């Protein structure tokens, strides 16, 4: 029983550190890339079939120039969420993007608005992360932690 308790505690610790890195750090450090990467969760179907709703995506900082067919994230002035779309044209510092599932191109953006370049995805991990950021998921995690801490271990 003691081993199970240690395993659950290690999992809880890993989940807590992952939560801090994935959910909390982007809110605190807007354009900071710990370990050279940042993460996001796909919220819309505008990039289907390449990226689906609830996919967890890993982005790297833009270093150098942006290329046609790169998938980039950018922030529009006055909007809360970032956009993750494919680059269809580049003209000096002006970039035109478009969602793979969209019929029309997005408004032009300046290359300085790009906040990340797509590296890879983990299907549906965003759904799990989103669950643990909602009140039910937080309650579940805290309850599990308390059970682990308070569950008596046998002394044989």
Residue-wise pLDDT for 107-136, tens only, equals 999 999 998 999 999 898 888 777 777 788
Has residue 31 got a pLDDT over 70? Answer: no
Locate the domains of the chain by residue range.
1-30+124-156, 34-120
pLDDT on residue 120: 94
Among 28, 59, 25, 29, residue whose Cα is nearest residue 41: 59
Q: What class, spelled out in words, does domain 34-120 have in CATH?
A: mainly beta
Q: In this predicted model, what pLDDT tens digit does every residue of 65-112 receive, in sequence order?
A: 999 999 999 988 888 888 999 999 999 999 999 999 999 999 999 999
pTM: 0.73
pLDDT on residue 152: 64
Has residue 13 got a pLDDT over 60? Answer: yes
Q: Who has greater pLDDT, 102 or 41?
A: 102
């Amino acid at each position: 029983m003691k081993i199970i308790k240690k395993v659950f505690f290690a999992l809880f610790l890993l989940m807590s550190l992952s939560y801090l890195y994935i959910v909390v750090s982007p809110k605190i450090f807007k354009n900071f890339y710990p370990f050279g990467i940042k993460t996001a969760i796909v919220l819309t179907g505008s990039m289907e079939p390449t990226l689906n709703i609830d996919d967890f995506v890993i982005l790297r900082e833009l270093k150098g120039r942006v290329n046609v067919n790169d998938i980039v994230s950018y922030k529009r002035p006055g909007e809360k969420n970032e956009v993750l779309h494919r680059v269809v044209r580049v003209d000096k510092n002006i970039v035109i993007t478009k969602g793979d599932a969209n019929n029309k191109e997005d408004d032009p953006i300046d290359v300085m608005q790009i906040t990340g370049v797509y590296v890879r995805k983990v299907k549906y991990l965003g759904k799990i992360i989103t669950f643990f950021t909602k009140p039910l998921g937080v309650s579940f995690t805290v309850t599990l932690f308390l059970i682990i801490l308070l569950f008596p271990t046998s002394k044989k």
